[in-house]
Amino acid sequence: MLAATAIAILHIALSPATAARDGLFRVTVTGLPAPAADVVVHGGVASQGKMFGLVPLRDAGHGSWWTLLRAPGLVGVYPIRVRTNGTYSETQTVLSVLPRGFAKQPAAASPAGVVEAWREASPGGVTIATESTWRQGFYYHRDQRYNRLLRVEYTLLQDWPRYGLRAGTDVRWFNVVRTSQTAPWRLAELVRTP
């Protein structure tokens, strides 16, 4: 029962909450009476492909802790997890690494719905040939509750300058993200190769 009480009063603050790719951000934890604690950006991968591990938190006294961390190099949303006494705590706090204009991108209730919203927004029409969730590589390492990578084969009927796409048949990977488990999924970026 004591562990449940400690988790209930645990508070995590990020500064900034939306970070630049590979940029620094500060994590502050309060309400954590423990002899030592670590933090991890769950599913985080640096631009060079190195997977993130645990980082010791610095004791600020009276159950408060802090550290500076590097943000992931891949666009996405990443839960912050705290570990004490060998046990991880879900904190409900996430770090967002999102491109400018993210809030204006096509959105839907599901990742597949984002592809459909993108198709509907095309200036001259798009035919979707295949669509599947990509389950390999660094993009798949991210927390799938917040991040998905979809492989989409399509035929674009005219150029689409907004996305730098030419008319014709092509394959792109759609990096779709949601900022919370109740938020809509949105197109974060089109990836040429994962």
Sheet with 147-156, edge to edge strand ranges: 107-108, 185-191, 168-177, 147-156, 126-133
Q: 165 and 146, same structural domain?
A: yes
Given a contact cutoff of 8 angstroms between Cβ atoms, the answer to whether 173 and 191 are in contact is yes
Instruction: Render pLDDT for 132-180 as a digit per residue (tens, 0 to 9).
Output: 999 998 899 999 999 999 999 999 999 999 999 999 999 999 999 999 9
- Total domains present in the chain: 2
Q: What is the pTM of this model?
A: 0.90
* Whole-number pLDDT of residue 48: 82
pLDDT band at 7 (very low <50, low <70, confident <90, very high): very low
Of 70, 97, 124, the domain-final residue: 97
Of 51, 77, 97, the domain-final residue: 97
Q: Which residue has the tokens 């591990």?
A: 53
* Whole-number pLDDT of residue 46: 87
What is the rounded average pLDDT of the residues 89-118? Answer: 95
For residues 60 and 66, what is the distance between their CA atoms, to the nearest angstrom?
Answer: 7
Q: 180 and 166, same structural domain?
A: yes
Given a contact cutoff of 8 angstroms between Cβ atoms, the answer to whether 106 and 186 are in contact is yes
Q: Residue 22 is part of a domain; what is its CATH number?
A: 2.60.40.10
Residue 1: pLDDT over 60: no
Residue 63: pLDDT over 50: yes
Given a contact cutoff of 8 angstroms between Cβ atoms, the answer to whether 108 and 114 are in contact is yes
Q: 37 and 56, same structural domain?
A: yes
Domain that holds residue 163: 102-191
Percent of the chain surpassing pLDDT 90: 85
Of 48, 70, 97, the domain-final residue: 97
Q: 8 and 78, same structural domain?
A: yes
Q: 77 and 16, same structural domain?
A: yes
* Whole-number pLDDT of residue 89: 85
Q: 38 and 124, same structural domain?
A: no
Going by C-alpha positions, the residue among 51, 47, 80 that lies closest to residue 66 is 80
Given a contact cutoff of 8 angstroms between Cβ atoms, the answer to whether 81 and 40 are in contact is yes
For residues 85 and 64, what is the distance between their CA atoms, to the nearest angstrom?
Answer: 16
